[in-house]
Structure 1
Amino acid sequence: MIRWRKGEVAAVRREWPGAVELDVTLPEGNCRALAYPPLVGRPEPGDTVLLNTTALAMGLGTGGYAMVVAIPDRLPEDPSGPGHLVKARYTPLQATVQGADEQGSPHHDVLRDADSVSGMPVVVADLHSALPAVLCGLFAARPGVRVAYVMTDGGALPAWFSMSAARLREIGWLCGVVTTGQAFGGDVEAVTLHTGLLAARHVLSADVAVVAQGPGNLGTGTRWGFSGVSAGEAVNAASVLSGRPVASLRVSEGDARDRHRGVSHHSLTAYGRVALARAQVVVPDLPGPFGQQVSTAAATLSSRHELVHVPVTGLYEALEHSPVRLSTMGRGLKEDPASFLTAAAAGRHTATLLTT
């Protein structure tokens, strides 16, 4: 189940908050590796590292790194901070963090009886790649709004894996990252998506929350076997907490797989079957026959949700100025504009829900 290797750090390639990318020399050649210093310490050139090379062997696109499991000759000091939430529980790398909702947290009193996000718009998306595009549409209409990213555990568990989230946090497009469920490494930790949304509102004072899994969507080509099913559950969570769920569709005109062309079956299943609460489903007014195809597919959700048609004029230019690289399944803005325009349209609509 795990492919183990031992190597030597040749060089540090680059780093961002919570993560360090390395060149590591193995007996069979060099490879790229990723270390999370909060978990294993910071590797330096010359260090021996123990690696999990499973993702490399499988040829995973998003997760195509060897992962540093330990620096066996230079172990980090024992943690001394508070917290008793265990994430990645009963795995060899289970980590203890302080949850905003746990006893002893400075936020426990705020969250103990919290039961509402008071009408906060909650944008729900299937893929992590939608996050910057949603923000491009939102900030083009409402600069300065406070947005929290609430990360579910369907993809990467460490929030540190996302260079986009780190950069968006750095420039102020995110007021914070909340990691929920088994995900960890956010500015705020939470046990469930529900307490994660409450923390976004009451701890980070967010005006808007964007809910999406971390990088590394998992799909099996079956009706129900994909991690994006959680998008439907996120609609339910936002609704039960008196939020305003806004559903961003997964749309593609560049995906070679029929099940993801137009409106992906992931969105049709998650919003059409899993989401029991009513959401505003944003339908982008894309031009031509492809736009009609998207509109027709989205119409199948109208019995359960409110469809909101949003013009995309000017959104491509906003996306061109994204502060982070736009990429979905290896395709950029030019290769799959409909994907990013759809997410940006959800952001544009969300701006209209905010009171001045």
Structure 2
Amino acid sequence: MLCHTQSIHVMGLAISLPLRSFGIGPGKAFWYGQLSGLVEIVAGILGVCFVQLANSLLPFALSFAAGAMLFVVFNEIIPEITSQNRTMSSWWLMGGFTVMMALDVISFDEFIMSVTHCIFDLDGLLLDTESIYTECMQQLCAPYGKNFSTETKLEMMGKSALEAGQILIRELNLPMTDEEFLAKSNELYTQAFPSAELLPGAERLIRHLANYNIPMAIGTGSSHELYTLKISGHRELFKLFDPVICTETKEIRLTKPEPDIFLACAEKFPNPPISMSQCLVFEDGENGVRAALSAGMRVVLVPSLPLSNYDPWILKHVTLKLDSLLKFDPVEFGLPPFDDV
């Protein structure tokens, strides 16, 4: 956006200054320069469409655009302004370029745009369901002499029930169909999940954000049926979330690490964010972190497993790592401070 704004300014100057030198009034010269920039709106829309198809060409195209702007500045603008007041013009020119370069270095999304929306994973982040989930999977695998490993669990996290079952069957070579897995796992879940408790710091953070009208969403790999089962002991608290995006049993499209589920959350907020970088995602799983980063959102990782089990790339690229939600400081992201601090 900064480059686009600069190009409009340069194009406007390139039109207005020559018109003034030919005796056209300042008002007309100004508006002719402004009107010349309107074509960039159309070109910008076409450019967005083109970028989706030509990401690999983008660095070269931006370099060409920057070179064209510099050419206009040095060929047209500098000779025009230095012919009248060389010293003052040079100082203003250097000052303007200094400010421009400083603004280019600063990331607007992170510096100017504070967090306005929060998106939460469910299992292992807000609710202590990971230990329950592990126990259920171990019970399911035990009759076949198989062990439910941490590696398999990490691969399954964030997936739909069907896709998670397919991973489990494939990795452990279980002699069962997808339908048998769904039936057996649902039977175990129905008995175990209603006892799920909130994890430390979850209720405090949720109620704090709600008190300050910070929009909150849930993006979970659980089906709506399982989600309802898991939150059955905390229904009033979870009414504070809108929207709640679940992943239905046989749905593949929205599963993490694809960004779809978090993009759907952002889109369905009553007042959607201006930029995806204004969304802060809270996650405990690798797949969820990858999904949030792919969506262009900031991520707080609160691991439900030892950090040694996580991909080093994940640990490097998350915005923040915390041992517990109790250690989250909302002020770091431009959110209101806790009232009890």
* TM-score normalised over the length of structure 2: 0.31
Hey, which of these two has a bigger chunk of strand by percent?
Answer: 1
Larger Rg over CA atoms: 2
TM-score w.r.t. structure 1 length? 0.30
